[in-house]
């Protein structure tokens, strides 16, 4: 079962569905910032929450923040943030950079899960599917190593009985778990595994296992971002974003390692600078829901991009003609509403009206496909090199496809990836506190080399 399938079982508050429309071009940034301030008084928000929340990509957010600071207090009612979709794209690119040379890209290709290319780019649809599959495969391999080291390769009988009850008799789950003996056994088992994960993260079980565990922790943080958006939880989103900052610095992402700090600090201090904005975020300001399913919420920036592409594209030319042909844009703007209405009526009359169907990953067929993908990746890794194999030299970090050990200098920096990024970030923040002008100055990139 995927993480999205699990989200379906989370009780969520009933929030209204939102409508979206294409934004104006952001070339004239002052007028683009001024438009929200004009409509803010007419928003149906409590008096204490009359702010306008905007998501921008980093290249647009930078000048927008500068204009807001320069022309204060004109645009002080705007709460400008980095778009979660673009933030996650940059995060995936940083994680893909971390995996370069580790052999995991090749293992995914040999498993026929990943086509040509790599995970080092910002391909969102590819990354959002591939990374959870690889995470599940590595997690199962790590649990197997834990069971071999601590439980003679088997799940304790009391815990196994509990799992059987959950799978076969779900109606008895609560009553069974509330019993003292099963609950104590489960708690002890989970605490032992948590300590084992920490020891793996610390390198006690070898550098190759430590490298895999660092990757797993980064993907788990991305799942927190995804959950925060789907549940519209600004506090969880703020926490997960804070955990992402060190990754941007370690991977030398030039825009996000600087401006994500500003975005994070704004979220942390949002109730002091914009009283009432947290309630606005919880009521739909963080993500958009356009169907009747609560868990299908998506980030604002990807929703707007999908809306523009959907409305502008044609089966023959895509959106290229729309962006270059003035008369085409005029025809689209005049006839789009009429065409949509006609198509909807026609589909409804012949019984083809499409329903809200955003739970594809929760269907039995999709879960089965994902499970087969996880098993294929596990089999490929086991046929190459299991990163959690006990007989690997613990003092070397190996590429799982070639079996070659990485250069000691590169391996050391990769294994200190997150602490190293946090150290660079803390140093930059200290410099900015001492001299505020440092924030806008060039940040020298630091290469990972031997």
**What local confidence, expressed as pLDDT, does residue 168 receive?**
79
Nearest-10 crossing angle of helices 256-268, 58-70: 60
**What local confidence, expressed as pLDDT, does residue 24 receive?**
46
Residue 103 gets the label, from left (phi > 0), alpha (psi -120 to 50) or beta, of: left
- Per-position pLDDT tens, the chain of length 450: 454 444 444 444 555 555 444 444 444 445 556 555 555 555 555 544 567 778 888 888 888 888 888 887 778 888 888 989 989 999 999 999 899 888 898 899 888 888 766 676 667 888 888 999 999 999 999 999 999 988 887 888 888 888 887 777 777 777 777 776 777 888 888 899 999 999 999 999 999 999 999 999 999 999 999 999 988 899 999 999 999 999 999 998 888 999 999 999 999 998 888 888 888 888 888 888 877 777 778 887 887 776 655 555 555 555 555 556 666 666 666 666 676 677 777 777 777 665 555 566 677 777 888 889 999 999 999 999 999 988 889 999 999 998 899 888 888 889 998 999 999 999 999 999 999 999 988 888 876 655
Phi, psi (5° rounding) for residue 435?
A: -140, 100
SS (H, E, C) 116-148: CCCCCCCCHHHHHHHHHHHHHHHHHHHHHHHHH
Q: Nearest to residue 200, comparing CAs of 374, 401, 415?
A: 415
**What local confidence, expressed as pLDDT, does residue 10 receive?**
44
CB-CB contact of 440 with 259 (8 Å): no
**How far separated are the first and last CA of the chain, in Å rounded?**
41
* Segments making up each domain of the chain, as ranges: 3-310+371-418
Output the pTM of the full model: 0.80
**What local confidence, expressed as pLDDT, does residue 37 receive?**
54
**What local confidence, expressed as pLDDT, does residue 323 receive?**
53
Output the six-digit token pair for 288: 């958009």
**What local confidence, expressed as pLDDT, does residue 28 receive?**
46
Token pair 């994960």 in the structure block, residue: 197
SS (H, E, C) the chain: CCHHHHHCCCCCCCCCCCCCCCCCCCCCHHHHHHHHHHHHHHCCCCHHHCCEEEEECHHHHHHHHHHHHHCCCCCCCEEEEECHHHHHHHHHHHHHHHHCCCCHHHHHHHCCCCCCCCCCCCCHHHHHHHHHHHHHHHHHHHHHHHHHHHCCCCCCHHHHHHHHHHHHCHHHHHHHHCCHHHHHHHHHHHHHHHHHHHHHHCCCCCHHHHHHHHHHHHHHHHHHHHHHHHHCCHHHHHHHHHHHHHHHHHCCCCCHHHHHHHHHHHHHCHHHHCCCHHHHHHHHHCEECCCCCHHHCEEHHHHHHHHHHHHHCECCCECHHHHHCHHHHHHHHHHHHHHHHHHHHHHHHCCCCCCCCCCHHHCHHHHHHHHHHHHHHHHHHHHHCCCCCCCCCCCCCECCCCCCECCHHHHHHHHCHHHHHHHHHHHHHHHHHHCHHHHHCCCCCCCCCC
Output the six-digit token pair for 191: 């605490």
* CA distance linking residue 241 with residue 259, whole number of Å: 12
* CA distance linking residue 127 with residue 88, whole number of Å: 10
CB atoms near residue 365 (< 10 Å): 8
């Amino acid at each position: 079962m995927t993480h999205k399938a699990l989200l379906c079982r989370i009780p969520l508050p009933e929030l209204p569905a939102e409508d979206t429309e294409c934004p104006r071009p952001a070339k004239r940034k002052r007028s683009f910032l001024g438009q929200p301030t004009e409509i803010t008084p007419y928003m149906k928000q409590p008096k204490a929450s009359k702010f306008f929340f905007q998501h921008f990509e980093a290249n647009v957010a930078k000048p927008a923040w500068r204009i807001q600071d320069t022309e204060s207090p004109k645009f002080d009612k705007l709460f400008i943030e980095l778009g979660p979709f673009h933030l996650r794209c940059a995060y995936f690119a940083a994680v893909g950079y971390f995996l370069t040379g580790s052999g995991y890209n090749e293992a995914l290709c040999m498993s026929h899960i990943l086509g040509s290319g790599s995970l080092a780019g910002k391909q969102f649809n590819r990354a959002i599917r591939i990374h959870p599959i690889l995470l599940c495969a590595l997690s199962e391999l790590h649990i197997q190593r834990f069971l071999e080291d601590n439980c003679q390769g088997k799940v304790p009988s009391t815990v196994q009985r509990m799992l059987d009850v959950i799978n076969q008799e779900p109606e008895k789950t609560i009553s069974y778990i509330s019993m003292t003996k099963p609950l104590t056994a489960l708690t002890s088992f989970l605490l032992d595994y948590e300590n084992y994960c920490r020891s793996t993260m610390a390198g006690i079980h070898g550098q190759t296992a430590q490298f895999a565990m660092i990757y797993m922790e980064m993907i788990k943080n991305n799942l927190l971002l995804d959950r925060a958006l789907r549940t519209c939880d600004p506090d969880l989103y703020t926490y997960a974003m804070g955990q992402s900052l060190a990754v941007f610095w370690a991977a030398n992402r030039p825009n996000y390692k600087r401006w994500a700090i500003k975005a994070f600090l704004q979220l942390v201090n949002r109730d002091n600078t914009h009283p009432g904005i947290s309630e606005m975020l919880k009521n739909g300001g963080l993500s958009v829901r356009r169907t009747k399913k609560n868990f299908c919420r998506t980030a604002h920036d990807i929703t707007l991009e999908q809306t523009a592409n959907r409305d502008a594209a044609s089966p023959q030319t895509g959106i290229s003609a729309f962006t270059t042909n003035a008369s085409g844009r005029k025809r689209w703007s005049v006839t789009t509403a009429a065409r949509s209405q006609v198509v909807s009526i026609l589909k409804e009359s012949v019984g083809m009206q499409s329903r809200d169907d955003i739970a594809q990953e929760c269907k039995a067929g999709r879960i089965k496909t994902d499970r087969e993908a996880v098993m294929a990746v596990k089999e490929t890794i086991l046929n190459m090199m299991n990163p959690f194999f006990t007989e690997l030299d613990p003092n070397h970090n190996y590429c799982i496809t070639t079996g070659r050990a990485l250069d000691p200098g590169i391996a050391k920096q990769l294994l200190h990836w997150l602490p190293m990024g946090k150290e660079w970030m803390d140093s930059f923040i200290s410099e900015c506190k001492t001299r505020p002008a440092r924030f806008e100055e060039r940040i020298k990139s630091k290469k990972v080399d031997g």
